[in-house]
Structure 1
Amino acid sequence: MDLDSITVMLRSFWTVWLTLLLTGILVYAMWPGNRRTFDDAAQIPLKDDGQEL
């Protein structure tokens, strides 16, 4: 096993890993149960300083 074959193998691994990670993040963000959490977080900049979260 030479350095070139190791490099190709690691590039393939990172491509698969990053694709799975991106897919997981997108599924988490689009999951219907998380909508309220994200809507509440989106309203934080619009709240007055005296209001509690």
Structure 2
Amino acid sequence: MDTYSLLREIADSWVLLALFAFFIGACLWAFRPGSRAVHRDTASIPFRHDDRPAAAGEEAER
């Protein structure tokens, strides 16, 4: 058996299984019960300093 066929068989089975397990793990990590506060905090980043409008020169400095 040549190297290409061997690597193709490994990629078709074990690597596919490993990537699927990684995907499921990432989904479980993102939707874990304790992450709601982190997601809410991250989502509110653009609105943190929204209590007053920016001054005319303040926007150009950024």
TM range (shorter): 0.7 to 0.9
What letter matches 1:38 in structure 2? H
How many residues are treated as equivalent by the alignment?
50
Structure number with greater CO (CA < 8 Å, separation at least 6) is: 1
The sequence identity of aligned pairs, in percent, is: 29
Q: Cα RMSD between the aligned structures?
A: 2.0
Structure 1 unaligned segments of length 5 or more: list them: none
- Report which of the two structures shows the higher radius of gyration computed on alpha carbons: 2
Structure 2 unaligned segments of length 5 or more: list them: 51-62
TM-score, length-scaled by structure 2: 0.65
Structure-2 residue corresponding to 1:9: 10
